[in-house]
Amino acid sequence: MKKTKSRGYLGSFVKSSIPDFGVSIFANAVCTLCTTVLPLIISFAIDSVVGNEPVSSGYEGFANALGGIAFIKSNLWIMAVLIAVIAVVNAAFTFVNNYFNRSGNEKMVICMREKLFSHVQRLPLSRGAMNSTGDIIQRCTSDITILSNFISNQLINLLRIIITIAVSMVFMFLLNPVLAGVSCALIVVIVAVSAIFRAVMEKRFKMCDEQEGVLSACAQENLTGVRVVRAFGRERYERDKFEKQNEYYTGLWKKTGVVTAMYWSSTEFLNTVQFLVLMITGTVLCINGTLSAGGFVAFLSYNALLITPLRELGRIISNMSRAGVALGRINEVISVPAEELGEYEGRLSGDIEFKNVSFSFGEGDVLKDVSFKVKEGSVLGVIGGTGSGKSTLAALLSRLYEPTAGDIYIGGRNVKDIPLATLRGNIGLVMQDGYVYSRTVGENIAIASEGAESGDVIGAAKTACVHGAIEGFANGYDTVVGERGVTLSGGQRQRLALARTLLRGTPYFVFDDSLSAVDNETDASIRENLKEKFGGATVIIISHRVTTVMDADEIIVLEDGKIAERGNSARLVANGGIYARIYEMQTALPEELREAERE
């Protein structure tokens, strides 16, 4: 089942390259015919043109076509020209073969990368998170290279190899069945030895590929987290960790190299033994008069022609396992069903409602039986300790994950029934870790809103209180932000992410701790701006900070995935529960400050 599916994917990758590969295979076949016909001509030349053997029945038509044996004997150049013509045809078709093979390969690689990349982008988060970035990168790059090289360098040659082997075998049996039988018996031994090595190499290559993924994940994580590594003085630890992994990976390749070397040397040895046995048997047959000198030369030529394709066949078989591993790894990604985005159906309206929602990442519930309602146009504040499930709540609303139990409704419609394009197009979610792209500040804000005017971008930046900071940059809105926004402060990055979401002007907003790195005063002015500009929007505002949520129409306090308290700020303070405690802690001035104020 899995195999058939992989082949199905392979078919879709190769589809656009079929015409090129078709031409390549045809040209390859012509080249093969050229090489397999040569020994016959040489045998004819030795026995009947240079020697005086009578023309055998198989060659009669050929000799007559060239003007009869007497004519050829007096015009030896005919044989030279014939061989030269074959060589030229061979060269021309070799060129055609290589050209179309390369172009087919390029088309296939582009197709594979595009398919894989666009699929990775649409993978559900719950599944996408299972692989590290380095691992995904390896699948999108080196696995594709392994697979495409195998197809264009080897699989396409399969026809040539089969033709060469078949034609050579047929002629060998026609030339002398006894000698052909001896040759074949030894070939069986060579193929069996190759098959044993193949099984060992398959295992080794798989291990190497897996470790390459671990190594690139290690390097990638290090580069991304370079600031943390430096700040904590972990360079040495990280370098040692990388070196250890690198050494292990290199060691694996060394071991694989030993097996590969053993494979080549043993087959080389067996080939020589086979040649020796043939030489002795052939010489005996020639002395007995059962084989002509020309026939023996032709036989040895065919035997030599056989050796390379047989080796290639061995290589194809061993590489097939490597390519099979690569295809399997690509298949693993591509067979995970991608999210179906559906159509954007326009603006949604109505209340948001969570009904008995529970969620688990695998072990233990992160959210437990959570129910609440946010009336259209109202603001819900969500407050709670670290790990209490606040971000998970936001992710469930946008269907980044699906609830394990319960349902979520918008305007009475179950979010499961709303196409993702519509759902996500209506919810402006500002994530906790505002991601900043390596582009200009302006592009970073406009990235999610196609065709946004610069006036709108500036408007959104002003609402998010980041306009002033941007103006302060050397190139204003055209300032390029470094990788992952390292040149921006945490607060600037958060406000940039906020402006990006505000620009979309969605009817629903979810701010997931999106102003945690902004000072209280700026936080207050942003909330003031939001009220002014987006007064009609339905807002869920998640925060650790009481001041951020205290103006909300309703506040829910999450504790350990459950709603511990709910109500407006005044009521919650009066209740004297968790909220009241947090309120007390965060709003009360330290005793010394109060005393200082009194003085």
- Interface positions with ligand ATP (CB under 6 A): 129, 361, 366, 384, 386-392, 432, 513
59, two tokens: 């060659």
Largest CA distance in the chain: 131
The residue among 330, 322, 135, 131 whose CA lies nearest residue 216 is 135
Is 298:175 a contact under the CB 8 Å cutoff? yes
Q: Which CB, 395 or 418, lies closer to ligand ATP?
A: 395
CA 124 to chain centre: 15
Nearer to Mg ion, 138 or 388 (CB): 388
On whether the CB atoms of residues 210 and 218 are closer than 8 A, the answer is no
User: 312 vs 512, which CB is nearer to Mg ion?
Assistant: 512
Residue 494 makes contact with Mg ion by CB under 5 A: no
Alpha carbons 466 and 525: distance in angstroms, whole number: 11
Instruction: Give me the least distance between CB of 222 and Mg ion, in Å please.
Output: 25
Q: Which residue is nearest to Mg ion (CB)?
A: 391
* Beta carbon nearer to ligand ATP, 513 or 523: 513
Which is nearer to Mg ion, 390 or 467 (by Cβ)? 390
φ and ψ of 427, to 5 deg? -110, 120
- Binding partner of 57, given ligand ATP, Mg ion, none, CB within 5-8 angstroms per partner class: none
- Measured CA to CA, the distance from residue 557 to residue 383 in angstroms comes to 5
539 binds, among ligand ATP, Mg ion, none (CB under 5 to 8 A by kind): none
The entry of Mg ion, ligand ATP, none that residue 337 binds, CB within 5 to 8 Å by partner kind: none
Least Å from the CB of residue 512 to Mg ion: 6
Site string (372-401) toward Mg ion, x via CB under 5 A: ------------------xx----------
- Residue (362 or 468) nearer to ligand ATP, CB: 362
Give the tokens for residue 49.
């043109």
- Which tokens hold the place of 374? 């946010």
What is the smallest separation between the CB atom of 540 and ligand ATP, expressed in angstroms? 13
CB of 390 to ligand ATP, least distance (A): 3
* Element containing residue 60 per DSSP (H, E): helix 57-65
* Rounded-to-integer distance, Cα 592 and Cα 574, Å: 26
* Shortest Cβ 362–ligand ATP spacing (Å): 7
Q: Closer to ligand ATP by CB, 175 or 542: give it.
A: 542
Residue 387: contacted member of Mg ion, ligand ATP, none (CB under 5 to 8 Å, by partner type):
ligand ATP
Token pair belonging to 178? 């006894």
Nearer to Mg ion, 248 or 435 (CB): 435
Q: What are the backbone angles phi and psi of residue 466, rounded to the nearest 5°? A: -120, -5
By a kind-dependent CB cut-off of 5 to 8 A, residue 392 interacts, out of ligand ATP, Mg ion, none, with ligand ATP
Residue 388's binding partner among ligand ATP, Mg ion, none (Cβ under 5 to 8 angstroms by kind) is ligand ATP
Q: Per residue in 203-219, is it b (16+ CB within 10 Å) or e — as a string?
A: ebbbbbbbbbbbbbbbb
Pick from ligand ATP, Mg ion, none: which does 389 bind, CB < 5 to 8 A by kind? ligand ATP
SS (H, E, C) 402-459: CCCEEEEEECCEEHHHCCHHHHHHHEEEECCCCCCCCCEHHHHHHCCCCCCCHHHHHH
Provide the minimum distance between the beta carbon of 513 and ligand ATP in the complex, in angstroms, as a whole number.
6
Q: How far is the CB of 497 from Mg ion (least distance, A)?
A: 14
Q: Shortest approach of ligand ATP to residue 228 CB, angstroms?
A: 17
Report the partner that residue 258 touches, choosing among Mg ion, ligand ATP, none (CB closer than 5 to 8 A by kind).
Answer: none
Rounded-to-integer distance, Cα 366 and Cα 360, Å: 5
Query: How many Cα atoms occupy the beta-carbon half-sphere of 526 within 13 Å?
Result: 29
CB of 386 to ligand ATP, least distance (A): 4
Cβ closest to Mg ion, residue 385 vs residue 476: 385
Report the sign of the C-alpha dihedral through residues 424, 535, 523, 597, in that order.
negative
Exposure on the CB side of residue 498, measured as CA atoms within 13 A? 30
**How far apart (Å, rounded) are the C-alpha atoms in residues 284 and 289?**
9
Whichever of 433 and 551 has its CB closer to Mg ion, that residue is: 433
Q: Are 140 and 117 in contact (CB under 8 A)?
A: yes
271 counts as binding Mg ion under rule CB under 5 A: no
Whichever of 309 and 389 has its CB closer to Mg ion, that residue is 389
Question: Residue 470 carries which side chain, given as an amino acid letter?
Answer: I
- Which option in Mg ion, ligand ATP, none does residue 529 bind, with CB closer than 5 to 8 A by kind? none
Phi, psi of 406 (to 5 degrees): 85, 175
Q: How far is the CB of 431 from ligand ATP (least distance, A)?
A: 10
Q: Please, what is the angle between helix 57-65 and helix 18-44, to 10°?
A: 100
Nearest to 176, CA basis, from 62, 270, 293: 293
Answer whether 295's CB lies under 8 Å from 43's CB.
yes
Tell me how far, at minimum, the Cβ of 551 lies from ligand ATP, in Å: 20
CB of residue 548 vs Mg ion: minimum separation in angstroms? 14
Which residue lies nearer to ligand ATP by CB, 390 or 467?
A: 390
* Of 215 and 558, CB closest to ligand ATP: 558
Task: Find out whether 76 and 49 touch, Cβ atoms under 8 Å.
Answer: yes
Q: Which is nearer to Mg ion, 105 or 391 (CB)?
A: 391
Binding to Mg ion by residue 301, rule CB under 5 A? no
Q: How far apart, in whole angstroms, are the C-alpha atoms of residue 546 and residue 523?
A: 12
CB of 414 to ligand ATP, least distance (A): 22
Kindly write out the interface string for residues 423-462 of this chain, putting x where it contacts Mg ion by CB under 5 A and - elsewhere.
Answer: ---------x------------------------------
Contact of residue 361 among ligand ATP, Mg ion, none (CB under 5-8 Å per partner type) = ligand ATP
Is residue 370 within 8 Å of residue 566, measured between CB atoms? no
Where is 559: in which H helix or E strand?
strand 554-559
With CB under 5 to 8 Å by kind, the binding choice for 138 among Mg ion, ligand ATP, none is none
The two three-digit tokens of residue 340, written as one number: 């179906």
Listed in sequence order, the DSSP H helices in 290-406 are: 293-334, 390-397
Question: Among ligand ATP, Mg ion, none, what does residue 129 contact (CB within 5–8 Å per kind)?
Answer: ligand ATP
To ligand ATP, the closest distance from the beta carbon of 435 in angstroms equals 15
Token digits for 317? 């078989």
Question: Binding residues for Mg ion, per CB under 5 A?
Answer: 390-391, 432
